[in-house]
Amino acid sequence: MATIRELRLVKGNQRYIFRYPRGMEETLLKIFANYAADPERKEFDWFDAAVLSYQIGKGLESKL
């Protein structure tokens, strides 16, 4: 069974929770980029994508 990981971001009244199976980090990074580039998602920006990407990296680093 795959380990389910979780990332959270709280920004003002917005709350983002991303749950994903270990090994799907690259897909999640692409999702963050798509969210940040989407003009309809004004509340999610490139800084948010960077913060969440950093959290993924720290999680991977701790598994080494």
Identify the residue whose tokens are 């380990």. 3
Model pTM? 0.84
Average pLDDT over residues 40-62: 90
Identify the weakest region by mean pLDDT among 22-26, 35-39, 58-62: 58-62
Identify the residue whose tokens are 């979780």. 6
Average pLDDT over residues 58-64: 69
11-27 residue pLDDT tens: 999 999 999 998 999 99
Which value, to the nearest 10 degrees, does the dihedral of the CA atoms of residues 18, 7, 58, 48 take?
80
**In the numeric block, which tokens belong to residue 49?**
């994508």
Confidence of residue 62 (pLDDT cuts 50, 70, 90): low
Average pLDDT over residues 16-41: 95
- The ranges assigned to domains in the chain are 4-62
The secondary structure element, H or E, covering residue 18 is strand 14-21
**Diameter of the chain measured on Cα atoms:** 37
